[in-house]
Amino acid sequence: MKTESKIGVFLCECGGKISGRIDLQEVRELTRYEPWAHFETSPYPCLAPGLETIRKQVQDKGLDRIMVAGCSSRIMKKRFTNGLAAVGIQRHQIEMVNLKDHVALVHEAGPQELARKAAALISGGLASLRLLEPYEPVSLPFEGPALILGGGVSGFAAARELARHGLESVVFSKALEAERVLEELHWTFPGCRIFCGDLGEFLREVFTSPKIKIMPDQPIDYIVGGVGDYHVGLRQPDNTITEVNGAAIIVALDREFAPPEIAHIGGGERVLDLLDLEEQLVEGEFKPGKVLFWVNSPQHGKDAQELATMAAWRDSLLLAREHPQVQPTVLYPANIALPLAGADLVEARAHGIGLMSYAPEVHPVVQSGYLSFVSPADNLEHEVEWDTLVVPGVPGDPGAKAQELLRWLPIYPENGGRLQKSHIKFWPDQVPDESLFFTGSAGGLCDLNDVLQQGKNAARGVLRLREKALEGKLVSPVVVHVDKDLCEGCGLCTEICPCGGVEHVKPGSGPVPREVDNHLCSGGGTCAATCPYEAVKILNNTAQQLEARLKAMMARMQENDILGFVCGWGGLASAEQAAIKGVAYPSGIYLVPVNCLGSIDPFILSMAFLNGVKGIMLAGCTPKHSCHYHFGVDHCWYRVNAMKKLLSLAGLERRRISIGYVEVNEPNSFARMVESHMESLGKLPPLPQDEKSKAKLWAIHATLHRPRVRWVLGTSLRRPAEKEFPGSQFNAVEADETMLDVLKEEFLASRILKALSDQPLNPPGIARLMDEPVKNITPLLPDMANEGRIALQGWEGGYPVYAVGKA
Amino acid sequence: MITFSINGQEVGGEEGWTVLDVARWHGIEIPTLCHHEAMEPFGACRLCAVEVDDGRRTRVVISCMYPIREGIKVQTETPRVANVRRWIAQLLLDESPQAPNIQELAKSFGVTPSRFKKTGVESACHLCGLCIRACQEVVGVQALTFGNRGVLKEVTSPYHRRSQDCIRCGTCLYVCPTGAMEQIFPLVSSE
């Protein structure tokens, strides 16, 4: 396809905004030998007449790739995609180079100078476009039942919805009959016994439906496969594994309520928690008298207190209805809004249920038979009488089942033990259909009604997937290939993938090549940049394309120019906003937009230095806080860090490369970043171009291709946090030195290879060529020979002579 | 092919194109504020007013939404048009006196702040709706919307709550012609 590519370049004048600052005639002159099939300058390619012109050229000249050099890809790409769809040009076949925001509006240099920069950006884009590969969307089949894991109540709601639409499902549940579910309901949903009547009917429908298979809940041994074809291994009591297959997974997890601490209140059987109370309600006997529900536990936040108030209210209503001799009262803190509707209040009055609030600033005091509290209405201390005091429980942690599932599915605990699906914030057209469904109160405090609704929604999601699959439209915008010949099955990609896109393998199956579930993939590309064996490739977003782009750009850059990688979110948005705000920065920085800094392969950085770039700046989102790919920018930090170490090992300045963080709305910070980095580089000479330095840069590049180095970089994972270090390291300096040792050794080995690349040499010969003491080199040579990287050719004057290649 | 004239110059176009499209394509400058090529025309600012003679009568219309028709004569620089634009510039300046773009625009029309002073103007937003349309049409989510009505109308997130739909892409910041989004963004964007 490379030779066939027919690229049309459309330069935009933007009504003078670009043509007034950049000499477009000169741009055309400079790029005349680039591999394009059509070149045109127009006032506004994006207007209706402009799109018409492009469509005409596509049809007349058979163009199959389009480059628009003018405006922001983020804003305008959709317009071109929509406008050119009629002539068969797809989104990935359109490349946009932003001359307006990256060149014309942010630099003060003359039109000729800016034309040179524009030409460099354009030829970079062209080089990348040439390596485009056809994207043929593959539609997934969707056969088999939906698997509902986790045992939460919402799973039943999902199953019923699926059954009503004719889709089979398998529910794994502790309770195998409806009555059991009802009896245990209050463990997860206190205060919901009042719904038992309706719920019982609903559950009987579920348990008798022929479309729903209820299976006993077994420990999950593995979950492998992907959308349309999941395999779940269940460990049976006799330790054998049964495998259940399904097309989709719904995780329904609830959290159990922990009993509150009431021992310090005392009172024996007169003081209960909500669970005790509901046990008594199940048994159906209750002591007459005044029952006081005291909503306490301010430490769990307003949401938990609202939930507890709701539970207390429902239980008191149930009590009042079924045991007329009981007089319930709910005492709730005044800092929450009473979560009751007007009709509820009417009902409360009808049943004589008291609703009172207490000022939470003054802690109520329990006495025998009384509880005193301060009313927020009059600031007076009041007393309320009780015969039974009930303290609602607190939401506990997700159960043990959650731990089993978290290991296999992209669900993570967030602050406060709340479970969250990997939620990545992207443009809607960058992500495929939602394909993993997570419901239940483990994802956030909610009551039974919410949870049932969540289950229903999850089922609808599954039904949507099935519908799409039937139409052959269940496709993913991102396609990740794992080269089976290169992959060694180390599993590093699975470990670091934030979206759960790289499949897990069954325990004990050894190193097998991975598959990628494109429907969970977010296209961040960190896996590809991390893979020690360079086996992972993201279609049309490969390191090879980036390499070609940079090489083409660097061929046109001057010796003091630098490369600026910007991530598609914080970095790019700030850079482009700088143009809108009229914030100027030096023209020596050539911006290269990437999805995420985490997608930049370490060898890209070394390749840039090898090709003579003076310095590199990277601008991404703030780590941990706003990286759209969870930890992409943190992964990049390690690569920059390794690059710094290697530069200093090669005797070059570490500050030639630096990484910075900006948010989407910080154009001034971005400009300052560029200025500061350029100023610091201004004091440095251009990269030395002599043979010895070149050899060292080559060695850096070779080092970053080494699986061992890439493995260490990959397992180091992230920018270290305070007191948190990769591997078995226990302090910052030691962690860093371990990495430095590996880099040192591999760098030296790479330099030896370089020295041997021209002719076979003995150790003193190698040392002379490398300017290193012989004693540093000799220990490495036998190891390298054992690994087959170099071969012992013979002996000469008592010294071994080595050459590149296998023996 | 539809042929018509702009300022006496014979131009042509296809069904569905607007006067503004054709004028810009031929290098005839018409000022706009609420228009962005990436989005459907909206007609909020009325700054792109032109005079159209359709053979029966002459009217001032907005060029960004006026579809071209056979034989019409468009004039972009008549005194009538200039008067309309000047008044709009005047009102915009009074609405958002702090915005650099608006100040520049006002300067080009030679208008200065008038007696129509809006009190308590803190942000420079004048409700052109570009950010809202960008969020819906370009990004494809609905994290921004107009809130309230009449003089209280404002750009906000649905229900005045930080939107969970917001993907923090910064498109709204990019398209905002006055820079008002810089103040609004931290209040509406997701955490």
Domain of residue A9, CATH code: 3.40.50
- Whether residue A494 lies inside any domain: the answer is no
**A157 and A251 fall within a common domain:** yes
**A155 and A71 fall within a common domain:** no
Sign of CA dihedral A724, A729, A731, A736: negative
Contact map slice: B 4-63 vs A, CB within 8 A: 13-14, 16-18, 21-22, 24-27, 29, 36-38
**A227 and A332 fall within a common domain:** no
**A297 and A365 fall within a common domain:** yes
Residues with Cβ within 8 Å of B32's Cβ and at least 6 positions away in sequence, in order, are B20, B45, B47, B48, B64
B65 lies within 8 A of chain A by CB: no
What is the pLDDT, as a whole number, of residue A510?
76
Residue A742 has pLDDT above 90, yes or no: yes
**A110 and A18 fall within a common domain:** yes
What is the pLDDT, as a whole number, of residue B9?
95
What is the pLDDT, as a whole number, of residue A728?
66
What does the alpha-carbon distance between residue A546 and residue A555 come to, in Å, rounded to a whole number?
A: 14
User: Residue B165, class by beta-carbon neighbours within 10 Å (0-12 exposed, 13-18 middle, 19+ buried)?
Assistant: middle
Question: Which domains, ranges and CATH numbers included, belong to chain B?
Answer: 2-77 (3.10.20.740), 130-188 (no CATH)
Instruction: Give the model confidence (pLDDT) of A398-436 as tens digits.
Output: 777 888 888 888 888 877 678 888 777 888 888 888 888
Domain span at A779: 758-804
Last residue of a domain, one of A364, A392, A420: A392
Q: What is the mean pLDDT of chain A?
A: 89
Tokens of A177: 């009959």
- Whether residue A530 lies inside any domain: the answer is no
Residues with Cβ within 8 Å of B89's Cβ and at least 6 positions away in sequence, in order, are B47, B102, B105, B106, B108, B109, B111
Among partner residues B171, B182, B186, which is closest to A74 by beta-carbon distance?
B171
- C-alpha distances (whole Å) from A583 to each of A107, A338, A547, B105 are 9, 51, 30, 19
Chain A residues within an 8 Å CB radius of B139? 427-428
What is the pLDDT, as a whole number, of residue A726?
64
- Whether residue A501 lies inside any domain: the answer is no
- Whether residue A690 lies inside any domain: the answer is yes
Domain of residue A201, CATH code: 3.50.50.60
Residue in this structure with the two tokens 């002459």, named with its chain if needed: B58
User: Residue A510, class by beta-carbon neighbours within 10 Å (0-12 exposed, 13-18 middle, 19+ buried)?
Assistant: exposed
Last residue of a domain, one of A350, A365, A392: A392
Residue A647 φ/ψ, nearest 5 degrees: -60, -45
**A355 and A280 fall within a common domain:** yes
Q: Kindly determine whether residue A429 and residue B179, on different chains, have CB atoms separated by under 8 Å.
A: no
> What is the pLDDT confidence band of residue A750, given thresholds at 50, 70 and 90?
very high
* Torsion angle (degrees, nearest 10) of CA A547, A549, A550, A551: 80
Number of domains in chain A: 5
| Mean pLDDT confidence for A53-78 | 94
**A111 and A45 fall within a common domain:** yes
| Mean pLDDT confidence for A477-493 | 88
Beta-strand pair A411-413/A394-398: unpaired
Q: Kindly determine whether residue B174 and residue A573, on different chains, have CB atoms separated by under 8 Å.
A: yes
Residue A463 φ/ψ, nearest 5 degrees: -65, -40
Bigger pLDDT: A750 vs A512: A750
- Compute chain A's Rg from CA coordinates: 33
**Shortest alpha-carbon distance between residue B147 and chain A (Å):** 23
> What is the pLDDT confidence band of residue A63, given thresholds at 50, 70 and 90?
very high
> What is the pLDDT confidence band of residue A717, given thresholds at 50, 70 and 90?
low
User: Among A154-168, A641-655, A786-800, where is mean pLDDT lowest?
Assistant: A786-800
Residue in this structure with the two tokens 């041997």, named with its chain if needed: A756
What is the pLDDT, as a whole number, of residue A2?
44
Residue in this structure with the two tokens 């007076």, named with its chain if needed: A380
User: Among A108-112, A117-121, A297-301, where is mean pLDDT lowest?
Assistant: A297-301
> What is the pLDDT confidence band of residue A1, given thresholds at 50, 70 and 90?
very low
What is the pLDDT, as a whole number, of residue A279?
85
Residue A739 has pLDDT above 70, yes or no: yes
What is the pLDDT, as a whole number, of residue B119?
64
Q: Kindly determine whether residue B13 and residue A49, on different chains, have CB atoms separated by under 8 Å.
A: yes
Last residue of a domain, one of A706, A736, A766: A736
Residue A723 has pLDDT above 70, yes or no: no
DSSP state of A178: H
DSSP state of B67: B
- Whether residue A476 lies inside any domain: the answer is no
pLDDT along chain B (191 residues), means of 10: 94 94 94 93 93 94 95 95 94 84 89 74 81 95 92 90 89 91 89 73
Q: For chain B, give the number of residues.
A: 191
**A436 and A362 fall within a common domain:** no
| Mean pLDDT confidence for A239-244 | 92
Among partner residues B25, B179, B185, which is closest to A49 by beta-carbon distance?
B25
DSSP H or E run through A784: helix A780-787
Chain A residues within an 8 Å CB radius of B40? none
Q: Kindly determine whether residue B173 and residue A573, on different chains, have CB atoms separated by under 8 Å.
A: yes
Chain A residues within an 8 Å CB radius of B4? none
Spatial CA neighbour of A338 closest among A309, A375, A295: A309
Spatial CA neighbour of A330 closest among A393, A384, A285: A384
Residue A801 φ/ψ, nearest 5 degrees: -115, 125
Instruction: Give the model confidence (pLDDT) of A93-106 as tens digits.
Output: 999 999 999 999 99
> What is the pLDDT confidence band of residue A586, given thresholds at 50, 70 and 90?
very high
- Whether residue A499 lies inside any domain: the answer is no
> What is the pLDDT confidence band of residue A5, given thresholds at 50, 70 and 90?
confident
- Whether residue A489 lies inside any domain: the answer is no
**A300 and A211 fall within a common domain:** no
Detail the DSSP E strand segments found in A368-511.
370-374, 381-385, 388-391, 394-398, 411-413, 419-421, 436-439, 480-482
What does the alpha-carbon distance between residue A348 and residue A386 come to, in Å, rounded to a whole number?
A: 18
**A237 and A354 fall within a common domain:** no
Contact A576, A619 (CB under 8 A): no
Chain A residue with the nearest C-alpha to that of B163:
A425
> What is the pLDDT confidence band of residue A807, given thresholds at 50, 70 and 90?
low
What is the pLDDT, as a whole number, of residue A447?
85
Q: Kindly determine whether residue B169 and residue A15, on different chains, have CB atoms separated by under 8 Å.
A: no
**A649 and A681 fall within a common domain:** yes
What does the alpha-carbon distance between residue A761 and residue A758 come to, in Å, rounded to a whole number?
A: 9
pTM over 0.80: yes
**A555 and A667 fall within a common domain:** yes
- Whether residue A512 lies inside any domain: the answer is no
Q: Kindly determine whether residue B22 and residue A79, on different chains, have CB atoms separated by under 8 Å.
A: no
Q: What percent of chain A has pLDDT over 70?
A: 98
